[in-house]
Amino acid sequence: MEQEIYDDIALEQIAKNKFGLEVDIDHVVLRNAPVNHVAKATLFLTKKKQLLLYIGGTSKLSLGEVQKIVSRMGLKAELYMPPKGQPNYFDEIGKQKFRAVFPGRHNPSLDDIRYYRTLAPYNPALIQIHEVKNGEVYQFDTDASGNWRVGARFAYRRIKTS
C-alpha cells in the first residue's frame, strides 16, 4: 500500500517534469502492467476525470510502437502528450526524418510526414485516453493466446463538452 502511494507521487512528478502536465491521481486502474518485453504501463484516472496512460521502458520506444501498444491494450487515444516545452515535437522529428530520406524536398506537408512522425523517440510516453473499447484493458502475457490477456475491466468514454 505504501509503495503504491510512492509510485503515484513519482508518476505525478514525471508528468509534471517530463510533460509539463499537472496531474492529481484519483484512482489507478492498472498498475505496472507489462505491454511488451521491456515496457510497463500504468493506466490512471485523475481527479478531473481524465484517463491517462503512462508507458515507460528500459529500451527505446517510438511513437509508432506506443500507438500500437495503446491499440492492443484495447484503448483509443485522444492525445499523445509531447515532451515539456516542445509542442511540435512529433512534427519536427517527422520533418527531420523526411528530409533525411528526401533531401531535395522542402516544406513537406502533414501528409508527407505522417509516417515519419511515428519514428520519433517516445519513452517515457503519456497518452490521454478517449475511450476503453469493450470495457476491457489488456496487458501483455506471453503465455496467453495472442500474447494479450485482460488486465482490468473498466468502462470509460470521454464526452467532449463546450
Give yes or no for residue 112 having a pLDDT over 80: yes
Instruction: List pLDDT tens digits, range 26-48.
Output: 999 999 999 999 999 999 999 99
pLDDT at 65 over 90: yes
Rounded Cα distance between 125 and 119, Å, is: 14
User: Would you call 113 helix, strand, or coil by DSSP?
Assistant: helix
| pLDDT for residue 116 | 95
Q: Distances from the Cα of 48 to the Cαs of 26, 52, 158, in angstroms? A: 9, 11, 12
pLDDT of residue 162: 61
Give the mean pLDDT of 139-158: 91
Contacts of 141 (CB under 8 A, 6+ apart): 34, 147, 148, 149
Q: Mean pLDDT for the chain?
A: 92
pLDDT of residue 105: 86
CA-to-CA distance for 144 and 33, rounded, in angstroms?
A: 14
DSSP 54-66: EEEESS--BHHHH
Q: Please state whether the predicted TM-score (pTM) of the whole model is above 0.75.
A: yes
